[in-house]
Structure 1
């Protein structure tokens, strides 16, 4: 037995937070300027913004994946608990009567 206890409601909320973070990042990326007017530093600033945008896009993807992983974990834990409960549901302790 692993001793792992999953609070399903908290895990589901956490998965939603990851999905919300991904949506927020993607929305913010849509508002980035196409060009940077920084005078002599325009090229450097454009490179910085481009790097930040790519990192933010990667983080959005990872946030979506993490939300999915949490959802899958909750789903699997629930299915396992249901299966175990079904398998052992009819067992009785010595001296007890079996449920009809």
Structure 2
């Protein structure tokens, strides 16, 4: 039974990794190496909304939000893709889904 659970966990991890980057497509292809996001993306970092320039640079509101709990609701829009530290995040149904570091 333990082996079954371990196999199931491995399968779930693989499915999550594949869905985070479907088909091995690199959304940052053709952008500068220091690109932070895919042009046109809209996403939230902490309590600030961010957009993405044509050159892949994020620009965000500057609301002071340190220590405040995150507000419920969407954390991104459309097909947004961005980097958050060492993670790559994508928008799925209005919510952020990120790879692990």
**Fold match by TM threshold 0.5:** no
More helix by share: 1
Normalized per residue, which structure has more strand? Answer: 2
Higher relative contact order (CA 8 A, sep 6+): 1
Query: Which structure: larger Rg?
Result: 1
TM-score by length of 2: 0.31
TM-score (norm 1): 0.31
